[in-house]
Structure 1
Amino acid sequence: MAPLRRRLAALSLASAFALAASACASGGGSSESAGPTTVTFWSMPYWIGQDTKVKALVDEFNASQGKVKVELTLLEWKDGRDKIKQAIAAGKGPDVWLMNNGLELDYLKAGALAPLDKLGYTAADTEKFLPLAKVDEYDGKMHGVPLYFDVDVMLYRTDVLQQYGIAAPPKTWDELKSTAATITSKSAEAGKKVAGWQFKGMDDHLNAINSTWESFLCQAGGTLTTPDFKASTQNTEAGRTAMEYMKSFYTEKISPVGTSALNGFISGDVAMFPFFQSVIANVQTGGAKTEGKWAVAPMPTGPKSGCSMVGGHSLVAGSASKNLQGAGTFMRWLASPERSAQYMDFHAIFPYDLGKVDPAVKATVDGKVKADPNWAPIFEQLARNTPDLVLQDRHAFQARWDAQKANIVAGVNGQASVDKALKTVDDLVGQALGKE
């Protein structure tokens, strides 16, 4: 959806939901009093690497009981979110759908999302989630159920670091830059240049610059907005520190602009890169190219902290649905501790407090963690993060991500000055914040 159409869809959410609520309409589901409840569920294939898994889960749920029947519409990542928003704006949306952790402010302000207490959730249910689940709160109530969390971590090629005499992954910004420079220069001297580091988003995955940038901004002590969410705060000392640091990798020819971080990592042409830990599922598709040759580490700490961007996905239900109880039944099943433990198979982070789940589930999670040493650094990174950045990012989200994709890249690769890039982001985001 073009930016203008996206804005129009957002503007129409409130009126669409007012009409839908008055008519008790939703995605075409049947009344809860007329036999089995039909719940419509629209989702992108969030099980990374296995697009059929979501359908298999829905089939499993339907076979497990006879009171609720879920009808799945599987969408594509390229336009799935926009199709959902268009359907909601037209009053023809689903009962339950997939949304980024943090949720979208347009839906929340329009009253389009049902709070969990209207879906049969109790305080005892929601208290089992990790504190990061606060990213799905609005006006003191949770409006989404986390399926899993993502955090930005560092992936590194153990074979490449060992080849150049580097015993351990870098732990600070200074170590990261010196390690990357050593690999880039020494590999070039040896006749086969390997990029010591690539910032995800400065390659063929432009949208990833948002999570990358926000991680490094956070590590420099920066924020996205003021505490009241009224003004954008990237054109600051912290913003300049983060961008100058990122830019130096390109001006000093440590990193090549445009080289794919993921594909280069799989082929051995990129030694280190940052991204959400669930990218591990993609790395593992490298087979013999990557098996036994890579590992995960926490993000190198910056001048102020070692925080990083938090992502992942939640389930939400439409407040206008006729099938709120059926929707809640399905959501409690799909986002249950039992299912969330399964999502760890593609390295999704378990969203529950292990001290508050069934011992059998805890044993399953503990077993997966014990079997894979990469979980330790992932959980270390998780512990460094708070909901704050995600709650800030909720405000003027689309304007920010569009502005950052264009201007952070331009500032880092030298097409625009650092000051101009940051000022432009603040101006564009500020305009959107002023309209909220």
Structure 2
Amino acid sequence: MRRALAAAVAVTAFTLSASACSSGSSGSDSSGPVTITWWDTSDATNEAGTFKSLVRDFEKANPDIKVKYVNVPFGDAQTKFQTAAGSKGAPDVLRADVGWTPGFAKAGFLAPLDDTAAAKDIGKFESNLIEQAKYEGKLYGIPQVTDTLGLMYNKELFTKAGVTAPPETWDELKSAMAKVKSKTGVDGFAFNPQGYYAMPFLFGEGTDMVDVADKKITVNSPAAVKGINTLNGVLEAPGARKLDTTSNAYANIMDAFSSGKVAAILQGPWENANVFKGSAFKDKDNLGIAPVPGTSSRQGAPLGGHNLVAYAGSDAAHQEASQKFIAFMTSASQEKTANANGTLPTRQDAYSVKVVANPGIAGYQKILSTGVPRLPLPEYSSLYTPLETQLIKIISGQVGTQSGLDQAAAEAGRLLPDYSTS
């Protein structure tokens, strides 16, 4: 899960024709190579080059398959794929955020991958990541990269401030923030005001936005209110950077951290490469990565990443080619991706000595166990929007916590009409 969440998927199901052609089906015939289209949603500047190189490797190993590579901006891809699938013109393969997989599967856009070539190494993947690629018991994606939020911190600034260990609780974070500000003059902590980054405050209280088992909306539950009040307390404490709610908030916070103007942030491994470009981290070992703080008894951060999924509307030949491509791109070739892009592999055999020599990867690998898997609810990703809208109002002092979360719950109820509210 990165940067900002795309618009929600409309999950009205319909039946796709088994003979429908994808955008990659045109232009190939039975006597020549099969051409499949892959929509890659990785960062065009920092990551796409690696995947283009892997496409060439795949084509060399599979001369009977050609891959039409298309880089689609992450923020546009969810809606674009939905539109393309509805008109039977979707790509054969999509790099999909884990939160999109259930919604696309429910709508009938994706082909199951159980017992296909794509899933031949399924036992080598982290089991919780495989669960995030399923919907109603069927496998609809193969994990390509994974991530979770961690506490990124500047070791040098912490040391100057006399902070000897990364904070494990929110109270310890407030203490560290104050010390950093007092001893160095630098802001101790900055918060990105997006719903995704607020989830650790809910998880720390043992709650989520919804309870799927009980079909209940819990974003305004007493536990959620307590969690967001804790966030407010952190942001109001000495050493916290002034809240930025502008459209450039994400970039501003990253620039401040990378240049040493703020000592700690909540962030994911997708920013490793950019952080290491900053003046404060020319020495990569200056980057500290620790589990996101929590309460005295519980920590938790959202588990994210991307799956490679196959379009259900492709014909048999393109399905088979897509499965081979997905298998290759999620194979031990993940080692090449990790080394080049600084992202986390989804299978253990890709964590080579060279890969874990990257302190950013090694740091996040150690905290993956604190990641909380995404709930298997097609509408789950859409719930971040009402939470974020109200979160900004709450932490800006425009509305009270309970009032704001009640409004978020009411909006969530419109997305989930069969769910009860707290």
TM surpasses 0.5:
yes
Q: What are the residue-to-residue correspondences of 1:52-201 with 2, within 5 Å? A: 52-117=49-114, 119-122=116-119, 125-132=121-128, 133-187=130-184, 193-199=185-191, 201=192
Deviations 1:357-384 (A, max 9, x none): 4xxx56xx23321x23444442231112
Corresponding residue number in structure 2 for 1:366 = 353
The DSSP-based 3-state class of the residue aligned with 1:315 is strand
The DSSP-based 3-state class of the residue aligned with 2:333 is helix
Note if 1:310 corresponds to 2:303.
Answer: yes
Note if 1:432 corresponds to 2:415.
Answer: yes
Match of 1:233 among 218, 224, 237: 218
Note if 1:319 corresponds to 2:298.
Answer: no
Looking at structure 1, the residues matched to 64 and 406 of structure 2 have their Cα atoms a distance apart, in angstroms, of 55
Counterpart amino acid of residue 116 in structure 1: L
Shifted more, 257-266 versus 274-283: the winner is 257-266
Match of 1:347 among 325, 328, 342: 342
Looking at structure 2, the residues matched to 210 and 349 of structure 1 have their Cα atoms a distance apart, in angstroms, of 23
Looking at structure 1, the residues matched to 214 and 34 of structure 2 have their Cα atoms a distance apart, in angstroms, of 40
Q: Aligned pair in 2 of structure 1 residues 291, 412: CA closer, same or farther (>3 Å)?
A: same
Counterpart amino acid of residue 195 in structure 2: N
Counterpart amino acid of residue 364 in structure 2: I
Q: Aligned pair in 2 of structure 1 residues 290, 240: CA closer, same or farther (>3 Å)?
A: farther
Counterpart amino acid of residue 274 in structure 1: L
Q: Is the 8 A contact 1:396 1:429 kept in 2?
A: no
Match of 2:369 among 372, 375, 383: 383
Q: Is the 8 A contact 2:301 2:371 kept in 1?
A: yes
Q: Aligned pair in 2 of structure 1 residues 121, 289: CA closer, same or farther (>3 Å)?
A: closer
Q: TM-score, normalized by length of structure 2?
A: 0.87
Counterpart amino acid of residue 121 in structure 2: D
How far residue 350 of structure 1 moved from its aligned partner, in angstroms, is 1.8
The DSSP-based 3-state class of the residue aligned with 2:147 is strand
Corresponding residue number in structure 1 for 2:385 = 402
Counterpart amino acid of residue 368 in structure 1: V
Match of 1:247 among 229, 232, 247: 232
Q: Aligned pair in 2 of structure 1 residues 127, 66: CA closer, same or farther (>3 Å)?
A: same
How far residue 48 of structure 1 moved from its aligned partner, in angstroms, is 7.0
How far residue 118 of structure 1 moved from its aligned partner, in angstroms, is 6.4
Corresponding residue number in structure 1 for 2:278 = 286
Q: Aligned pair in 2 of structure 1 residues 48, 220: CA closer, same or farther (>3 Å)?
A: farther
How far residue 398 of structure 1 moved from its aligned partner, in angstroms, is 4.7
* 5+ long unaligned stretches in structure 1: 188-192, 203-208
Q: Is the 8 A contact 2:118 2:324 kept in 1?
A: no
The DSSP-based 3-state class of the residue aligned with 1:434 is coil
Deviations 1:277-305 (A, max 9, x none): 22111101214664353321222232442
Looking at structure 1, the residues matched to 107 and 217 of structure 2 have their Cα atoms a distance apart, in angstroms, of 23
The DSSP-based 3-state class of the residue aligned with 1:155 is strand
Q: TM-score, normalized by length of structure 1?
A: 0.84
How far residue 41 of structure 1 moved from its aligned partner, in angstroms, is 0.9
RMSD over equivalenced CA pairs, Å: 2.6
Looking at structure 2, the residues matched to 174 and 198 of structure 1 have their Cα atoms a distance apart, in angstroms, of 15
Corresponding residue number in structure 2 for 1:205 = none
Deviations 1:111-169 (A, max 9, x none): 211111364345x5222210122101112121001001101011111121122222222
Deviations 1:13-47 (A, max 9, x none): x33xx2x4254322241578443211111112357
Shifted more, 101-110 versus 320-329: the winner is 101-110
How far residue 262 of structure 1 moved from its aligned partner, in angstroms, is 1.1
Looking at structure 1, the residues matched to 197 and 218 of structure 2 have their Cα atoms a distance apart, in angstroms, of 17
Q: Is the 8 A contact 1:47 1:343 kept in 2?
A: no
Deviations 1:150-205 (A, max 9, x none): 01011111121122222222122221111112222444xxxxx4211112x23xxx
Looking at structure 2, the residues matched to 80 and 227 of structure 1 have their Cα atoms a distance apart, in angstroms, of 27
Corresponding residue number in structure 2 for 1:296 = 289
- Counting aligned pairs with the same residue, the percent is 25
Match of 1:223 among 203, 208, 213: 208
